[in-house]
Chain A
């Protein structure tokens, strides 16, 4: 990274953040601060919803996921468009009708205060933790590859997000989201064309894809019902519960679309997300496949996290590591020949020969994976605390090594923007929920507009500092994008179950909803600890569990039925 990159990085971040603060300065009341005066048009809503979901982890981890495991992760998003439609039909009209600031306000009108407080509390718990990860994830990767200090990186990302979220509230979040998303999408397209240009000219594009397919990187949908597989078509059906809960009941998303100018603008924003999200996810994964193809003719590191490699090379295992590297280099020669034979077989039109070569390429790929596994074992032998998963480093190490200067600065700005866009939505939502559902409702009901506005700003600061502190004490999980989804899956099922009770089961009252919510949440935590089912299924189990249990215990709580929605 040279001076030009620093200039591009600094200018891009300061112009967009500075413009966001300047444009939204002087929010005078709580409605303006929390709902942005309901001025957002549909494209602002759509881009803001996308920016909130797409954290830095999305851009750093996803291509690495495709590099190692292929494009199967795309299945996770298959049901997202369906969730968007359901939210447009059911959730949005209710939120607009009740003119709520937060999703949880609705639950008090339907059930009671304790059920509202329970769901708000569950949201604050899971989103507070996730917010720390949102900052921590890019910080640890950037600090590792750029040699930046981890704590300083964490604090900088957190402070910038706090600065504009605290200053302009929802409006500032929307304004910055729009510009951040434009820079992010443009940069991704630039990378795509650079990668396209970097692929070997000896083979056509479709021949390159044939190599990717032979290495099992293009298996986008897997119809086999297998609970052991984290991502397949059937688990995508379970993921719909996660999406309904995330987009329908998570305040960080709800706040994006209830601040739309009208129901129409909010719905169109979600429809935009429903149309764009799946292709965008395929596109980001495909960038990972292209990086894989690039490394078919260029030497890929045996392990992508150079900082860990440096530790191994200075340890007593360095001899063993060198042996593995030599074995790996020999394999790369074999791989080049196998790829060439595969393309030649394809050109000859001999299907039998092609099949043989596909099998050969796949077996070499398995040998490569075996060497990589042995490297991971070596890392664990040197120091059990060293991170042996390098998925999150694949894309960023490619960017830093092969992209031209200037563009590196822009891409680092993209990573920071992605981190900030999610963080700002989360801080905005955490502050809104704490102010509206906890402070204003249960602690101080007699404050003035100015008092609650100041409280919201102070709570934005509080949650920002909480997230920075959590990020500072965090440890790297197996895969960062999965960690965020796991935290969500533990809590979202229960929250969604309570909302579904509110929407569709008018006979269920507050006490039954509250007790079933608490009991099921405890069971979900136990289930997760026992590691019986893949985490995505926890969403479905939680939601259905709450509904069933509420019906079972309903006779225990007799009283007048309250139907508020």
Chain B
């Protein structure tokens, strides 16, 4: 799907997504995965 400038929309897939329907969900996944990894490592090392 394209917007009025002919640029593909950032929030939807043109031909279906492997997992999520919205790009925003993918971006959220990137943030959440990294937060989990960094927090897990930080607090685990802190707890030793």
Chain A partners chain B: yes
Interface residues of A in 192-236 (CB under 8 A from B): 206, 209-210, 213, 218-221
Residues in B neighbouring A526, C-beta threshold 8 A: none
Residues of B in contact with A, size category: 20 to 34
Q: What's the A-B contact tally at a CB cutoff of 8 Å?
A: 69
Check if B29 sits within 8 Å of A89, measured CB to CB: no
Check if B38 sits within 8 Å of A218, measured CB to CB: no
Check if B33 sits within 8 Å of A97, measured CB to CB: no
Residues in B neighbouring A88, C-beta threshold 8 A: 10, 23, 27
Check if A213 sits within 8 Å of B30, measured CB to CB: no
Residues in B neighbouring A221, C-beta threshold 8 A: 38, 42
Residues of A in contact with B, size category: 20 to 34
Q: How far is the CB of A36 from chain B (nearest CB, A)?
A: 20
Residues in B neighbouring A97, C-beta threshold 8 A: 5-8
Residues in B neighbouring A263, C-beta threshold 8 A: 8, 14
Majority DSSP secondary structure for residues of B touching A: helix
Q: How far is the CB of A524 from chain B (nearest CB, A)?
A: 30
Cα distance, A263 to B26, chains bound together (Å): 14
Cα distance, A540 to B7, chains bound together (Å): 28
Residues in B neighbouring A278, C-beta threshold 8 A: 34, 37-38
Check if B30 sits within 8 Å of A85, measured CB to CB: yes
Cα distance, A383 to B34, chains bound together (Å): 46
Residues in B neighbouring A26, C-beta threshold 8 A: none
**CB closest chain-A residue, reference B39:** A221
Cα distance, A271 to B22, chains bound together (Å): 13
Check if A271 sits within 8 Å of B8, measured CB to CB: no
Q: How far is the CB of B5 from chain A (nearest CB, A)?
A: 7
Residues in A neighbouring B27, C-beta threshold 8 A: 85, 88-89, 271
Check if A93 sits within 8 Å of B10, measured CB to CB: yes
Q: How far is the CB of B3 from chain A (nearest CB, A)?
A: 9
Cα distance, A94 to B33, chains bound together (Å): 27
Check if B37 sits within 8 Å of A279, measured CB to CB: yes
Check if A213 sits within 8 Å of B45, measured CB to CB: yes
Interface residues of B in 1-48 (CB under 8 A from A): 5-8, 10, 13-15, 17-18, 23, 26-27, 29-31, 33-34, 37-38, 41-42, 45, 48
Residues in B neighbouring A220, C-beta threshold 8 A: 38, 41-42, 45
Residues in A neighbouring B38, C-beta threshold 8 A: 78, 220-221, 278
**CB closest chain-A residue, reference B9:** A93
Check if A89 sits within 8 Å of B10, measured CB to CB: yes
Q: How far is the CB of B39 from chain A (nearest CB, A)?
A: 10
Known contacts A89-B23, A264-B17, A278-B37; 16 additional CB pairs below 8 A are A78-B34, A88-B27, A89-B10, A93-B8, A97-B6, A97-B7, A97-B8, A220-B42, A221-B42, A264-B14, A267-B23, A271-B26, A271-B27, A275-B34, A278-B38, A282-B37
What are 17 A-B pairs with beta-carbon distances under 8 A? A78-B34, A85-B31, A89-B23, A93-B8, A93-B10, A96-B7, A97-B5, A97-B8, A209-B48, A218-B45, A220-B38, A267-B23, A267-B26, A274-B34, A275-B34, A278-B37, A278-B38
Residues of B within 8 A of A (CB): 5-8, 10, 13-15, 17-18, 23, 26-27, 29-31, 33-34, 37-38, 41-42, 45, 48
